[in-house]
């Protein structure tokens, strides 16, 4: 192919630098995408060390700047979330078949740890419905909560301890990248499915039943409800329905009058208090309405001595730790991030993981089970106007007061009231509009969401999660295996070359085939790309022969290719041999720096000649025309 003499713009084919430099930069992009230490570089040793400590212990950063105005805001937010934390803590502990008091314990210690290490200003710490139900079903499958309640409870602390270590480890090694494989579609489907499953579980409480399955799928739960129908109590059902309606009314009023933001936050506590009063007055137990029973006063007992590791249960523990760890992290980080963007703040996912890890490790020594930053509580915290993580301390103090003085009052709380609270909280997690949006924009996303949803409903939470993440990974692999390639044409009156399918009016040259290669050109896609390119050449050849010209030039636009491997380069060499035998000349345009390096060291550029690499498609096309013109002269 002819060169254009002085008109030609040089393509940079130089190497980027040493292997170790580019390796270091790749590592940095992979594990430190947010480059958290970039401000340290301009500081002296001592100041840098100070910044580093502040980076890992954010409280040192914000506590000195804490003002009275912020305290006022945090006080209000803290009291608001405490009034939600008490009934939710109790309810979710029941969901895990734990004694309600464990739920209160778990809202006392972890927030105090989070406030030291956490970087989010909006997150409210506590136990969540999904994790509670998951842990209950996994641990319950090995240890019966009725037969050996102590062992069952200690397994929860153990799980929290190891999950904490797991979370902190991921954070320290900056493996936040793993959590990114839980897409929004997965979370939407999983949460929706979990909400349905949790609501089904509550039928036990609403119907006042005493026997129930430990499985979570809809078929088992419905079967269990029907087979024990002699336990159904209408009094309980009527009472429960009234409470659900009351809670929904509060939520509805808030939707009408936004300044009543505290109403849905306070409503669960109202339901607990009213329900307890009602149960006390009418002696509910005699009418088939089950109550919580004795709740003893006092702060968290120390549970560190129960963290012994028994090999008998290591399978269950491993499953519980891995899945609940990912669940808790992805919920906590997603909540933190989405609330932060509304305030134009940044949340460092890896730092959050360390904070979650620390609070669970320390929490598990004080009778707390797994906690994270739940959706509902954090959103209430945000809307109540919290300014810093201090609102968690306020909440924790409120819970302390409850534990020290008010706990026995919960004795008369009807189980049906807790079920009503859970049901209403869960209804908000089923997002039909979101699923509809997924369907409209991207069918594959919808499939990922549906897999999680039905997996959870009909099989188990583990199956739903794995199926959905598996589909997500399949999608990523399919993307790599089938890069999009298209034929380019010139947009009239410009120098731009675009997809001819998208711009059917673009100008084509009968003897030049211009292809924009997709990325990456890897082992997994090389075979496909070869077939696709050969097919294009064949088609183009047929068209050219109709116009009685020969296909003479193949221009490969490499501007979109960001990565290539040895198999990919061999494929390009194969294509070169193929077109060479048919007297078609090949040209590359605008290869990226990562590509030129490899094309050069693999000697591919020697094969096609460095003069066959152009800066833009326009220049390559001009060079083709120039060569033709020269040929005509000769």
User: What is the enclosing helix (H) or strand (E) of 262?
Assistant: helix 262-282
d(CA 372, CA 325): 10
Give whichever of 16 and 297 is closer to a second copy, judged by the CB atom: 16
Minimum separation from the CB atom of position 501 to a second copy (A) = 6
Angle separating helix axes 129-140 and 415-427, nearest 10 degrees: 120
Minimum separation from the CB atom of position 477 to a second copy (A) = 6
Minimum separation from the CB atom of position 600 to a second copy (A) = 9
d(CA 94, CA 89): 9
Minimum separation from the CB atom of position 180 to a second copy (A) = 5
Minimum separation from the CB atom of position 595 to a second copy (A) = 10
Give whichever of 13 and 263 is closer to a second copy, judged by the CB atom: 13
**Beta strand pairing call for 585-589 and 613-614:** parallel
d(CA 236, CA 226): 17
Alpha-helical runs (H) found in 141-183 = 149-172, 176-179
Q: For residues 11 and 588, is the Cβ–Cβ distance under 8 A?
A: no
Give whichever of 61 and 180 is closer to a second copy, judged by the CB atom: 180
Minimum separation from the CB atom of position 13 to a second copy (A) = 10
d(CA 519, CA 562): 6
Q: For residues 92 and 418, is the Cβ–Cβ distance under 8 A?
A: no
Give whichever of 51 and 144 is closer to a second copy, judged by the CB atom: 51
Minimum separation from the CB atom of position 606 to a second copy (A) = 13
Closest CA to 561 of 520, 505, 609, 527: 520
d(CA 97, CA 111): 23
Minimum separation from the CB atom of position 544 to a second copy (A) = 17
Give whichever of 110 and 176 is closer to a second copy, judged by the CB atom: 176
Minimum separation from the CB atom of position 333 to a second copy (A) = 9
Terminal-to-terminal C-alpha distance of the chain: 15
d(CA 156, CA 541): 69
Minimum separation from the CB atom of position 530 to a second copy (A) = 9
Give whichever of 178 and 404 is closer to a second copy, judged by the CB atom: 178
d(CA 188, CA 630): 63
Minimum separation from the CB atom of position 497 to a second copy (A) = 10
Give whichever of 70 and 475 is closer to a second copy, judged by the CB atom: 475
Cα distances (Å, whole numbers) of residue 622 to 327, 509, 609: 56, 11, 18
Give whichever of 283 and 535 is closer to a second copy, judged by the CB atom: 535
d(CA 428, CA 489): 50
Instruction: Decide: helix, strand or coil at residue 608.
Output: helix
Give whichever of 400 and 486 is closer to a second copy, judged by the CB atom: 486
Minimum separation from the CB atom of position 463 to a second copy (A) = 20
Minimum separation from the CB atom of position 599 to a second copy (A) = 9
Give the other-Cβ count within 10 Å of 21's Cβ. Answer: 10
d(CA 272, CA 100): 13
d(CA 347, CA 327): 18
- Read off the DSSP letter of residue 34: T
Torsion, CA 299, CA 301, CA 302, CA 307, rounded to 10: -130
Instruction: Decide: helix, strand or coil at residue 507.
Output: strand
3-state helix, strand, coil in the chain (%, to 5): 65, 5, 30
Give whichever of 505 and 632 is closer to a second copy, judged by the CB atom: 505
Query: In sequence order, what are the beta bridge partners of 589?
Result: 557, 614
Give whichever of 296 and 341 is closer to a second copy, judged by the CB atom: 341
Token pair belonging to 621: 């096309």
d(CA 471, CA 622): 45
Closest CA to 123 of 418, 353, 428: 353
Minimum separation from the CB atom of position 364 to a second copy (A) = 28
Token pair belonging to 609: 């000649």
Query: In sequence order, what are the beta bridge partners of 498?
Result: 489
Give whichever of 72 and 484 is closer to a second copy, judged by the CB atom: 484
Q: Report the phi/psi class of residue 608: left, alpha or beta, with left for phi > 0 and alpha for psi in -120 to 50.
A: alpha
Give whichever of 88 and 590 is closer to a second copy, judged by the CB atom: 590
Give whichever of 228 and 437 is closer to a second copy, judged by the CB atom: 437
Minimum separation from the CB atom of position 55 to a second copy (A) = 16
Token pair belonging to 307: 């963290």
Instruction: Decide: helix, strand or coil at residue 291.
Output: strand
Token pair belonging to 468: 């959905």
User: What is the enclosing helix (H) or strand (E) of 589?
Assistant: strand 585-589
Give whichever of 39 and 312 is closer to a second copy, judged by the CB atom: 39
Instruction: Decide: helix, strand or coil at residue 387.
Output: coil
Give whichever of 49 and 474 is closer to a second copy, judged by the CB atom: 474
Minimum separation from the CB atom of position 132 to a second copy (A) = 26
d(CA 411, CA 279): 10
């Amino acid at each position: 192919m002819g060169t254009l003499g002085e008109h030609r713009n040089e393509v940079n084919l130089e190497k980027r630098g040493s292997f170790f430099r580019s390796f270091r930069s790749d590592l940095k992009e992979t594990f430190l995408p947010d480059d958290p230490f970039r401000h340290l570089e301009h500081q002296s040793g001592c100041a840098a060390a100070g910044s580093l400590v502040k980076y890992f212990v954010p409280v040192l950063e914000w506590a000195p700047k804490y003002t009275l105005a912020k305290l006022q805001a945090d006080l209000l937010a803290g009291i608001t979330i405490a009034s939600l934390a008490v009934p939710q803590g109790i309810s979710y502990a029941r969901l895990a078949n734990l004694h309600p008091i464990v739920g209160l314990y778990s809202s006392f210690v972890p927030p105090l740890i989070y406030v030291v290490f956490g970087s989010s200003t909006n997150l409210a710490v506590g136990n969540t419905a999904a994790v509670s139900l998951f842990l209950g079903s996994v641990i319950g499958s090995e240890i019966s909560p009725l037969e050996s309640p102590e062992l069952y409870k200690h397994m929860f602390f153990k799980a929290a301890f190891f999950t904490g270590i797991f979370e902190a480890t991921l954070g320290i090694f900056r493996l936040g990248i793993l959590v990114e494989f839980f897409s929004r579609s997965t979370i939407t489907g999983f949460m929706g499915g979990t909400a349905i499953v949790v609501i089904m579980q509550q039928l036990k409480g609403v119907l006042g039943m005493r026997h129930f399955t430990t499985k979570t799928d809809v078929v088992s739960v419905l079967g269990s409800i029907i087979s024990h129908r002699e336990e159904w109590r209408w009094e309980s059902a009527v009472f429960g329905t009234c409470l659900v309606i009351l809670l929904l009314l509060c939520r509805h009023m808030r939707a009408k009058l936004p300044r009543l933001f505290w109403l849905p936050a306070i409503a669960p506590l109202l339901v607990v208090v009213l329900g307890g009063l009602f149960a006390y007055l009418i002696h509910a137990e005699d009418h088939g309405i089950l109550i919580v029973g004795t709740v003893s006063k006092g702060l968290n007992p120390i549970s560190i001595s129960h963290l012994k590791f028994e090999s008998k249960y290591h399978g269950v523990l491993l499953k519980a730790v891995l899945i609940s760890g990912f669940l808790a992290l992805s919920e906590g980080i997603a909540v933190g991030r989405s609330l932060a963007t509304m305030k134009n703040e940044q949340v460092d996912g890896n730092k959050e993981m360390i904070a979650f890890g620390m609070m669970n490790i320390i929490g598990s020594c004080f009778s707390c089970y797994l906690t994270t930053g739940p959706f509902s509580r954090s959103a209430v915290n945000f809307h109540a106007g919290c300014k810093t993580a201090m609102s968690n301390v306020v909440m924790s103090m409120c819970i302390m007061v409850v534990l020290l003085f008010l706990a026995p009052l919960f004795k008369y709380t009807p189980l049906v009231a807790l079920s009503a609270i859970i049901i209403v909280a869960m209804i908000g997690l089923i997002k039909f509009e979101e699923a509809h949006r997924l369907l409209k924009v991207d069918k594959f996303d919808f499939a990922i969401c549906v897999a999680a949803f039905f997996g959870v409903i009909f099989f188990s939470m583990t199956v739903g999660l794995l199926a959905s993440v598996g589909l997500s990974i399949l999608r990523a692999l399919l993307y790599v295996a089938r890069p999009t390639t298209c034929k380019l044409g010139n947009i009239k009156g410009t120098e731009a070359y675009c997809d001819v399918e998208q711009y059917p009016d673009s100008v084509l040259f009968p003897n030049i085939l211009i292809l924009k290669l997709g990325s990456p050109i890897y082992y997994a896609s090389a075979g496909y790309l070869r077939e696709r390119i050969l097919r294009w050449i064949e088609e183009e050849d047929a068209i050219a022969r109709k116009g009685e010209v020969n296909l003479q030039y193949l221009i490969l636009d490499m501007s979109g290719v960001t990565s290539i491997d040895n198999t990919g380069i061999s494929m390009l060499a194969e294509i070169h041999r193929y077109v060479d035998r048919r007297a078609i000349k090949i040209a590359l345009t605008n290869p990226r720096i990562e590509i030129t390096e490899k094309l050069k060291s693999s000697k591919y550029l020697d094969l096609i000649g460095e003069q066959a690499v152009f800066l833009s498609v326009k220049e390559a096309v001009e060079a083709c025309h120039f060569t033709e013109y020269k040929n005509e002269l000769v």
